[in-house]
């Protein structure tokens, strides 16, 4: 696992720091912590190009003033070391007591700053993710804004959702790639098991596994730990906890 410093043109690095300080000063001057406005100030595409901040605001409000650990997959800016990180700085401002972590396939170490740490590696490399989680500790929020490749999104969820703290939230962005062939998606067969939307739609049944009429049914991990799912245009939120609410009719997956 590598997040060591990369050689960057000193002038470019200075310009980057000045831009970051300028954006911070704009936030401080406006005394504005509304997530939509923070997104615009820091230039993230989560507002404007997309309309994700309105949903993040409603789901993440309860974490605002808590000491949380957030992990966002994908820094942005592709190969350019000083490009990207806009949403990380937005989250840092939105969560004043939070620690913001991120992973990216490219070296983004020059974008690190106080309360923002970036690891370099693949979102589907189990050994790498295990090391990241070991260093972070308990994770309250995970956001997948990585490759958007269907296979990657599904595999990353399988690897990281078990690492999420109970009471935490796992969010997936840009689920429209579920329908795009170049990302492994499918617009023709909406029941294609290889697409992320079909995978996550199948997990809605996990919420109601207590109602299955399947004698001797064995709960899987997602049956036990998914307590809520919220679908929006191009994004999903999944809440983690103990899914132990009993049926009022079914006992041990058999009708009374």
Give the catalytic positions in this structure.
148
9-38 burial, b at 16+ Cβ within 10 Å, e below that, comes to: eeeeeeebeeebeebeeebeeeeeeebbbb
State the DSSP code for 75.
Answer: -
Give the three-state DSSP class for 236. Answer: strand
Tell me the CA end-to-end span of the chain in Å, nearest whole number: 53
Contact criterion met (CB below 8 Å) for 116 and 102: yes
Handedness of CA 103, 109, 111, 117 (dihedral sign): positive
Give the pairing type, strands 235-240 and 164-173: antiparallel
CA-CA distance, 45 to 52, in Å (whole number)?
A: 9
Alpha helices in the chain (DSSP H): 10-30, 35-42, 53-60, 86-94, 126-136, 150-160, 196-203, 221-225
CA-CA distance, 143 to 60, in Å (whole number)?
A: 12
User: Nearest to residue 53, comparing CAs of 83, 84, 91?
Assistant: 91
């Amino acid at each position: 696992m590598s997040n060591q410093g990369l050689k960057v043109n000193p002038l470019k690095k200075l310009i980057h720091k000045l831009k970051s300080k300028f954006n911070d000063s704009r936030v401080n001057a406006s005394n504005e912590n509304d997530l939509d406005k923070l997104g615009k100030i820091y230039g993230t595409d989560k507002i404007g190009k997309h309309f994700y901040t309105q949903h993040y605001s409603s789901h993440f409000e309860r974490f605002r003033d808590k000491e949380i650990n957030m992990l966002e997959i994908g820094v942005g800016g592709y190969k350019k070391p000083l490009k990207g990180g806009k949403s990380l700085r937005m989250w840092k401002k939105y969560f004043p007591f939070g620690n913001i972590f991120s992973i990216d396939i490219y070296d983004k170490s020059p974008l690190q700053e106080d309360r923002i740490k970036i690891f370099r590696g693949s979102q589907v490399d189990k050994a790498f993710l295990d090391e990241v989680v070991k260093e972070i500790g308990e994770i309250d929020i995970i956001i997948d804004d990585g490759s958007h490749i269907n296979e990657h999104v599904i595999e990353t969820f399988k690897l990281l959702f078990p690492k999420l703290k109970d009471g935490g939230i796992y969010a997936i962005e840009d689920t429209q790639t579920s329908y795009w062939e170049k990302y492994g998606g499918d617009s023709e067969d909406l029941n294609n098991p290889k697409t992320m939307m079909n995978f996550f739609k199948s997990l809605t049944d996990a919420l109601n596994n207590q109602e299955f009429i399947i004698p001797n049914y064995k709960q899987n991990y997602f049956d036990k730990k998914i307590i809520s799912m919220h679908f929006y245009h191009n994004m999903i939120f999944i809440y983690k906890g103990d899914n132990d609410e009993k049926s009022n009719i079914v006992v041990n997956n058999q009708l009374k």
